[in-house]
Amino acid sequence: MSIDEQLMTKRRILSAARRLFHSPGYQNARVVDIATAAGVSRATVYNHFVDKEAILRALVEDYLSGYARISESMVEAADRDESIFAVLLRMVEDALAWRVANADLRPAIEIARQILPDAHTAANRAADDALRKQLADVHRRSVKHGIVRPDIDLNYAATALYSMIEAVLSSFDVGSSEAEIKAVAEQLTLLQWYAVYTISPEVAPNLGS
Amino acid sequence: MSIDEQLMTKRRILSAARRLFHSPGYQNARVVDIATAAGVSRATVYNHFVDKEAILRALVEDYLSGYARISESMVEAADRDESIFAVLLRMVEDALAWRVANADLRPAIEIARQILPDAHTAANRAADDALRKQLADVHRRSVKHGIVRPDIDLNYAATALYSMIEAVLSSFDVGSSEAEIKAVAEQLTLLQWYAVYTISPEVAPNLGS
Amino acid sequence: MSIDEQLMTKRRILSAARRLFHSPGYQNARVVDIATAAGVSRATVYNHFVDKEAILRALVEDYLSGYARISESMVEAADRDESIFAVLLRMVEDALAWRVANADLRPAIEIARQILPDAHTAANRAADDALRKQLADVHRRSVKHGIVRPDIDLNYAATALYSMIEAVLSSFDVGSSEAEIKAVAEQLTLLQWYAVYTISPEVAPNLGS
Amino acid sequence: MSIDEQLMTKRRILSAARRLFHSPGYQNARVVDIATAAGVSRATVYNHFVDKEAILRALVEDYLSGYARISESMVEAADRDESIFAVLLRMVEDALAWRVANADLRPAIEIARQILPDAHTAANRAADDALRKQLADVHRRSVKHGIVRPDIDLNYAATALYSMIEAVLSSFDVGSSEAEIKAVAEQLTLLQWYAVYTISPEVAPNLGS
DNA sequence: ACCGACGGGACGCCCCGTTGCT
DNA sequence: AGCAACGGGGCGTCCCGTCGGT
């Protein structure tokens, strides 16, 4: 059996698990169901994952690693010397798009938070911090321009933005249309902008300046 | 056994379940653990609740009913003709305080969202809508004063506020000190305010005016 | 559920196991088969026995305890002051009858010897020794009468008798007819007698004399 | 790989299996253990034997074929015109020596009796009958001499002898010392002799006479 | 209310024998 | 011949929810 086929097997198990963890849910998805859906036997599942939990862990880690990639792309974006608002907007868009693309993973991630207290938190913090660091950077540079409201704690502002990105998914049930995502991203960015900055988005200074 | 004693037993079961659902978590809390912690036998638990799920459901419903009470108190507050900012602030404070007081229930509520898809959503919507309706009312009245940013969708703004209240708990690990809660509430209210309104909080009009 | 019913359940499991250990054999008898044959669930089997091995152990112990009862009955017989030959004959008859009645347990006992090295040996030795002690007693008293062949080691003779009782089962496939058992017992006793004693069975002295 | 090397491999597998079937026993000896002990891989074991059972079968067949050789040597012995007692003694010695040399195979043979009902019985009967035929021959010739006890069934006597040979192993744990084997063989032969014959061993007639 | 046996069913483990690939 | 993934299937554990007896 080739190495490619091994990877395929693992991927098919993950894919089946992802589908079944979304519905009928992690608890109701039996290992044998995942195996059958992946076209393998139960034993094979245990050849690739020590645990049903390990499958969950793998899914969550895959998801969180996507976050890290977003923050990397942001670093590059920063080099292109765009306006602060544009940078924020891109960031929100990217994060939102990633979440939408992985909306079916939400239940799994919530479960992971429950039953993988340490593992999840560790990986999650890593991913969150990647994004948070970027936002903190934007904020810090903004302060130099004297455009940040003096009575706003930027930590809360950052948390607010993230939680909104999160919440907007479950509340508004955003479709996968790119246009929709853009519209929502703009709204969220505007909210963040007005909450934090004293000037209009149109006159936002460049990040690099 | 008197009715009072029966209620006591039920309450002790709920209390034990609440403690155990928080740690070691819903899945890891066995019915016999709950029974033992409540000082009763496993059979007695099943005399009061048809299901382990039913205990979870009862806990969540208790929690959500508290939300409804908050919105009721807001209606009264509105009658006292305070400023819009003050009303918002009180609302955030109340919601935050309630969440803090029930912070240990968060895991249980998340689980309920997973495994009680219909029951939870129904109750949750009811509670959410109660608050949301109040906020929508505040927003609607604000519009009449012409102080709302024209490029902001108030639906997103409302969602943002709620998600922030939610998120601030897990991120900042707010203690139960009333002063702390007040400080955080003010920050969140300010964020919401600046995001939505064009004027300074100090000159906010009265709700009833 | 009454205590009687509990015992019944355990007995029915043992009975089913006994049947299935004989055919299709210990290894081929699945726990679920035993459970089904006993009219209970697999879980119930594990409520009564920690192991599949424990069922085997229980069967073997029951069987061996029967041996002990035989030797007890021999002690009483000895008090009736019969002839040595008659005592030997009764002993062989009893042992043979017990083995015939439990012939279906032979495979299980052989398996037990394999997979329960210590447990089996311990119990088996106890049962064997019970009988062996009786036989040794008969032999010892015989020596006093000067009727034992001087070139015969009575230890080997005793072992020979036991092994014959054992072997005659598998080789001759004795039916359960009492007459058949008596006939075989007489043959075996005669073999033992002639091998050990110098006189004719008809003139055998009494045990007590 | 040469044919010799193949045979070597097969022999080493059998040797390892023999060791492991003795301890920790057939059921507890995993195929991978046998392979490792033989210095080959698990797959190679399956190249030489279709089954784990096939290994057991091969061991038992090797063992039983040794019995056939004993009976062949007895035929030759008979031609040397020795006394009946000497012939019996040699027979018992040979059988006993063979059993002692293969004492470690006993557990495997017992298992084979359980799980290879047909295969074992067939081969076993063949080997047993080879010996039994010889003994029957001796007995038949003895009858002609009028030295057999009239009240003894020679079938039982033959069975008795075989079972004793078998039993003496497990009960007395005979060492491999030749002298010990000789002593035990003499005892067993004497037991058989006295049980069956009316005359003293010293005056036993010759087999051929 | 309490107790304990019970049916049910998933989990993780372990080992067998098979099958392609190297 | 060696290797490793795989299907298959039994074992023992665990917990749930039920039920009858005390």
Single-letter residue type at C61: E
Decide: B191 and A160 in contact? Cβ < 8 Å: yes
Decide: C149 and C155 in contact? Cβ < 8 Å: no
| Tally of CB atoms within 10 A around D79 | 10
Residues in B touching A163 (Cβ below 8 Å)? 160, 163-164, 166-168, 171
Looking at residue B59, its pLDDT comes to 93
pLDDT > 60? residue D17: yes
Left if phi > 0, otherwise alpha if psi is -120 to 50, otherwise beta: which for C180?
Answer: alpha
Decide: C21 and C29 in contact? Cβ < 8 Å: yes
Q: Across chain C, how many H-helices and E-strands are there? A: 9, 0
User: What's the number of CA atoms in the CB half-sphere (13 Å) around residue A88?
Assistant: 31
For residue A7, what are the contacts with CB-CB under 8 A and spacing of at least 6? none
pLDDT > 80? residue A209: no
Decide: B90 and B74 in contact? Cβ < 8 Å: yes
C53, C114, C199: best mutation site toward chain D, by most D Cβ within 10 Å? C114
**Which member of B162, B166, B187 has the closest CB to residue A156?**
B187
Residue A189 approaches strand F within 7 Å at CB: no
For C96, the token pair is 């043979």
Residue A103 approaches strand E within 7 Å at CB: no
| Tally of CB atoms within 10 A around B168 | 24
pLDDT, tens digit (0-9, with 9 covering 90-100), for D158-183: 888 888 888 777 665 656 688 888 99
SS3 D151: coil
D33 CA to F2 C1' in angstroms comes to: 16
Q: What is the DSSP string of D108-123?
A: HHHHHHHH-HHHHHHH
The answer to whether D and B touch (≥3 CB pairs < 8 Å) is no
Nearest to residue C48, comparing CAs of C20, C2, C7, C18? C7
Torsion of CA A194, A199, A201, A204, to 10 degrees: -130
Query: How far is C24 from C30, CA to CA, in rounded Å?
Result: 10
Chains that touch B (3 or more CB pairs under 8 A): A
Amino acid whose CA is nearest the C1' of F6: A44
CB contact under 8 A, D160 and C188: yes
Nearest to residue B37, comparing CAs of B57, B63, B19? B19
CB contact under 8 A, C159 and D157: no
Give the least confident one: A14-18, A47-51, A81-85, A171-175: A171-175
Residues in C touching D151 (Cβ below 8 Å)? 190
pLDDT, tens digit (0-9, with 9 covering 90-100), for A188-206: 999 999 999 999 999 999 8
Looking at residue A203, its pLDDT comes to 95
Work out the average pLDDT over C178-207: 92
Looking at residue B1, its pLDDT comes to 55
Looking at residue D175, its pLDDT comes to 61
| Tally of CB atoms within 10 A around A127 | 21
**Burial (Cβ within 10 Å: 0-12, 13-18, ≥19) of residue C112:** buried
Decide: D152 and C201 in contact? Cβ < 8 Å: no
Q: What is the DSSP string of B97-159?
A: HHHHHTGGGHHHHHHHHHH-HHHHHHHHHHHHHHHHHHHHHHHHHHHHTT-B-TT--HHHHHH
| pLDDT classification of C178: cutoffs 50, 70, 90 | confident
pLDDT > 70? residue C121: no
Looking at residue B17, its pLDDT comes to 96
Torsion of CA B73, B76, B82, B84, to 10 degrees: 60
Find where tokens 């305010």 sit: B193
Query: How far is D188 from D92, CA to CA, in rounded Å?
Result: 8
| pLDDT classification of B70: cutoffs 50, 70, 90 | confident
- Count of residues making up chain A: 209
Q: Across chain D, how many H-helices and E-strands are there? A: 9, 0
Which residues from 24-53 of A have any strand E atom under 7 Å from their CB?
Answer: 29-32, 42-43, 46, 50-53
pLDDT > 90? residue D136: no
pLDDT, tens digit (0-9, with 9 covering 90-100), for D67-113: 777 777 777 766 677 899 998 998 899 888 888 888 889 888 888 88
A135, A144, A150, B154 from A202: Cα distances, Å: 19, 18, 21, 21
pLDDT > 70? residue B174: no
The more confident residue out of C107 and B44 is B44
**Which member of D107, D151, D187 has the closest CB to residue C190?**
D151
The protein footprint on chain F, as nucleotides within 7 A of a CB, is 1-22
Nearest to residue C94, comparing CAs of C104, C102, C84? C102
Residue A36 approaches strand F within 7 Å at CB: no
For D152, the token pair is 């003894």
For residue A166, what are the contacts with CB-CB under 8 A and spacing of at least 6? A99, B163, B167
The chain-wide mean pLDDT, for chain D, equals 85
B47 CA to F18 C1' in angstroms comes to: 12
Looking at residue C107, its pLDDT comes to 87
Decide: D92 and D185 in contact? Cβ < 8 Å: yes
Work out the average pLDDT over C176-181: 82
The more confident residue out of C7 and C184 is C184
Find where tokens 């004993």 sit: D70
Looking at residue B176, its pLDDT comes to 66
| pLDDT classification of B31: cutoffs 50, 70, 90 | very high
pLDDT, tens digit (0-9, with 9 covering 90-100), for A42-61: 999 999 999 999 999 999 98
For D169, the token pair is 């192993």
pLDDT > 90? residue D137: no
Q: What is the DSSP string of A20-72?
A: HIIIIITTT--HHHHHHHHTS-HHHHHHH-SSHHHHHHHHHHHHHHHHHHHHH
Work out the average pLDDT over C96-107: 88
pLDDT > 80? residue B171: no
Looking at residue A178, its pLDDT comes to 84
A82, C27, C162, D26 from D109: Cα distances, Å: 84, 16, 21, 10
Nearest to residue A155, comparing CAs of B170, B161, B172, B182? B172
A156, A192, A195, D166 from B188: Cα distances, Å: 7, 12, 10, 90
Looking at residue D119, its pLDDT comes to 63
B33, B69, B75, B156, D5 from B159: Cα distances, Å: 38, 20, 20, 5, 78
Out of A154-168, B78-92, B174-188, C22-36, give the one with best mean pLDDT.
Answer: C22-36
For residue A139, what are the contacts with CB-CB under 8 A and spacing of at least 6? A148, A154, A157, A158, A196
